[in-house]
Amino acid sequence: MKTPLRAIALALSLALGSVGAQAQVAPSAAEAAAYTGLHAAAHKGDVAKIQRQVASGAALNATDAYGRTPLHVAAFARQREAIRALAKAGADLNTLENDRYDAVTIASVADDEATLKVLLELGASAKQVTSRYDGTALIAAAHLGHDGVVRQLIAAGAPLDHVNNLHWTAVIESIVLGDGGARHQATLKALIDAGANLQLADRSGQTPLVLAKARGYSTMVSMLEKAGAR
């Protein structure tokens, strides 16, 4: 029989996992087809058109109905050369769209390491507070077990111990919203190796170690115990 704590954690994982999967809204096919100007060029990765639009005075940070700039659109479409062209022209790399996501978090949630690398090299921040949960790109990536993304964000100075409005850190989300598998284990290892605080507890006072034990994630339990977690 599941313990009450484990049952609660599982329910939260399912509920928030479903919400998280829908929180970022990429342009629909209809929206993309209706785009003009820089938004259309960004979606298609048409660098020459971006350059022409910029030369003619197009607004680099103009938004569509969902608050997406051309940079957001390029990030969703994995159009890295378009991102470079927009950045070179002076586009804001850190603008938030209507659901408070930036390009870094968009790439992180998509497990798009190549696009994330370009954004970070261009100077996009890994430190912003994003989403309806007042989280970070690191927390979102840890939730999803995107370990390569997590390592990139850590290297870029992402705040290791940010606490979102659910009172969860990246460490906690890697456990509570993870599946305990290899990629979530690698995510937790990256956070431990980087020096994340393993004693920060959730709103109920449950530490990462207690949460890992409750879910039966023995490998994570071992990792946390070896790192001195209590």
Residue pLDDT, tens place only, 29-88: 999 999 999 999 999 999 999 999 999 999 999 999 999 999 999 999 999 999 999 999
Q: Which residue has the tokens 């994995």?
A: 78
Contacts of 137 (CB under 8 A, 6+ apart): 102, 104, 105, 108, 109, 126, 128, 130, 149, 153, 158
Look at residue 15 and tell me whether its pLDDT is greater than 80.
Answer: no
What residue segments make up the domains of the chain, in order of their start? 1-23+126-230, 25-98
Per-residue model confidence (pLDDT) at position 164: 97
Higher pLDDT, 103 or 11: 103
Q: Which CATH superfamily is domain 25-98 in?
A: Ankyrin repeat-containing domain (1.25.40.20)
Which pLDDT belongs to residue 21? 40
Q: Is the pLDDT of residue 2 over 50?
A: no
CATH fold match for the domains 1-23+126-230 and 25-98: yes
Q: Which two tokens stand for residue 33?
A: 């087809």
Give residue-wise pLDDT tens across range 99-151. 999 999 999 999 999 999 999 999 999 999 999 999 999 999 999 999 999 99
Of 168, 221, 157, the residue nearest 195 (C-alpha): 157
Could you write out the DSSP letters of every residue in 71-97?
A: HHHHHHTT-HHHHHHHHHHT--TT---
Q: Is the pLDDT of residue 215 over 60?
A: yes
The three-class DSSP label of residue 110 is coil
Cα separations (Å) of 53 from 39, 40, 65, 70? Answer: 10, 11, 20, 12
CATH number of 1-23+126-230: 1.25.40.20
Per residue in 147-196, pLDDT (tens digit) is: 999 999 999 999 999 999 999 999 999 999 999 999 999 999 999 999 99
Global pTM value: 0.91
- CA dihedral (72, 74, 78, 84) in degrees, to 10, reads -110
> Which tens digit of pLDDT belongs to each residue from 196-214?
999 999 999 999 999 999 9
